[in-house]
């Protein structure tokens, strides 16, 4: 069945808003930067990969700030730059993440791999929220969207132990922040994509096609998501259309978390 393209949608829900996107050089972050810009936002793109980040910023007409999201000073500088350049930080899409092959079964995953994944996937979200919140509180408004994953709620025998634990942390932290700052006009949600066809997933599956096929069978929609389909959810959560949604787990997973037996 052909899937609907979101490319042609021209809602302008984010005119006058400033959105910071981490991991904007590739995959979900890149698609989100495109979508947020198309909806009228001023987009500040952050990535550790300077070439990819610069080219993404050029493509969306945004501002690139080279940032390693595990570095507190760089993260502060990122949000300072967004505020100083555009006068507000209205949206923070804290999305950068990694899924390296050395993060595997608990039986084989070493402490270095464990720590690295926790730093990039979880500590970074803490740092980005910590840096964004004071600017949002100043204006009494904001939407924070933290990228978790469907693996925060579902177990897999094809384990990536630190990745899964990091995404569980993102989910719990987002819920807590959503509750804490709700009365200040700041919404915080965790976005949990199912498997998305991005370089991160391709890298993982190129190494093991059998594992890829094994995962695909569990998705009722019968395919991986396109990054644009996740970006559409980001734009919704960023906009006032989601004004009563906070402290939530927003699943965009093709039905995977609801399935017992999938269609053949």
Ligand X SMILES: NC(=O)c1ccc[n+]([C@@H]2O[C@H](COP(=O)([O-])OP(=O)(O)OC[C@H]3O[C@@H](n4cnc5c(N)ncnc54)[C@H](O)[C@@H]3O)[C@@H](O)[C@H]2O)c1
Q: Which of 73, 86, 163, 260 is catalytic?
A: 163
18, 95, 143, 189: residue in contact with ligand X (rule CB under 6 A): 95
Return the HEC string of 65-95.
EECCCCCHHHHHHHHHHHHHHHCCCCEEEEC
State how far the Cα of 170 lies from the Cα of 159, in Å rounded to an integer. Answer: 18
How are the residues of the chain apportioned to helix, strand and coil, as percentages rounded to the nearest 5? Answer: 50, 15, 35
Give the interface segment with ligand X, choosing from 7-15, 48-56, 210-218, 240-248 (CB under 6 A): 48-56
One residue of 19, 57, 96, 235 binding ligand X per CB under 6 A: 96
SS3 258: helix
Q: How far is the CB of 101 from ligand X (least distance, A)?
A: 13
The residue count for binding ligand X (CB under 6 A) is 30
Q: Closer CB to ligand X, residue 71 or residue 184?
A: 71
52 or 233: CB nearest ligand X: 52
Choice from 200, 219, 251, 252 touching ligand X (CB under 6 A): 200
Are the beta carbons of 187 and 144 closer than 8 angstroms? yes
Name the residue with tokens 């200040």.
184
Q: What are the two backbone dihedrals, phi and then psi, of residue 142, each rounded to the nearest 5 degrees? A: 170, 155
- Binding positions for ligand X, 61-90, rule CB under 6 A: 67-70
**Order of all β-strands in the sheet with 63-66:** 63-66, 42-47, 18-22, 91-94, 142-147, 186-193, 249-252
Other C-beta atoms lying within 10 Å of the C-beta of residue 3? 11
CB of 100 to ligand X, least distance (A): 10
* DSSP SS3 for 136: helix
Task: Pick between residue 95 and residue 109 the one whose CB is nearest to ligand X.
Answer: 95
Q: Is 135 a catalytic residue?
A: no
Asked if 156 and 111 touch (Cβ cutoff 8 Å), the reply is: no
Q: Which of 195, 234, 237, 248 binds ligand X (CB under 6 A)?
A: 195
Report if residue 216 touches ligand X, rule: CB under 6 A. Answer: no
Q: How far is the CB of 47 from ligand X (least distance, A)?
A: 5
Q: Which active-site residues does the annotation give?
A: 163
Residues that bind ligand X (CB under 6 A): 22-23, 25-29, 47-49, 52, 67-70, 95-99, 120, 147, 149, 193, 195-196, 198-201
């Amino acid at each position: 069945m052909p899937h609907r393209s979101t490319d042609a949608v021209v809602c302008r829900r984010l005119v006058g808003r400033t959105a910071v996107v981490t991991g904007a050089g590739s995959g979900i972050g890149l698609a989100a930067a495109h979508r947020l810009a198309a909806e009228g936002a001023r987009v500040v793109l952050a990535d550790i990969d300077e070439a990819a980040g610069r080219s993404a910023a050029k493509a969306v007409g945004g501002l690139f700030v080279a940032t390693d999201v595990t570095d507190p000073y760089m993260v502060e500088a990122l949000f300072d730059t967004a505020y100083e350049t555009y006068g507000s930080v209205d949206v923070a899409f804290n999305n950068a993440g990694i899924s390296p092959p050395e993060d595997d079964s608990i039986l084989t995953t070493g402490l270095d791999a464990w720590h690295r994944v926790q730093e990039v996937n979880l500590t970074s979200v803490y740092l980005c929220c910590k840096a964004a919140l004071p600017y949002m509180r100043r204006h009494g408004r904001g939407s924070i969207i933290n990228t978790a994953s469907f693996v925060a709620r579902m177990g897999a025998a094809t384990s990536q132990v630190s990745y899964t634990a990091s995404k569980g942390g993102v989910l719990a932290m987002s819920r807590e922040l959503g509750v804490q700052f709700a009365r200040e006009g700041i919404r915080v949600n965790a976005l949990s994509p199912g498997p998305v066809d991005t370089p991160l997933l391709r890298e993982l599956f190129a190494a093991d096609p059998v594992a890829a096929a094994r995962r695909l069978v569990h998705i009722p929609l019968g395919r991986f998501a396109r990054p644009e389909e996740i970006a559409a959810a980001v734009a919704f959560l960023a906009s006032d259309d989601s004004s009563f949604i906070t402290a939530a787990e927003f699943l965009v997973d093709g039905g995977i978390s609801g399935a017992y037996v999938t269609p053949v």
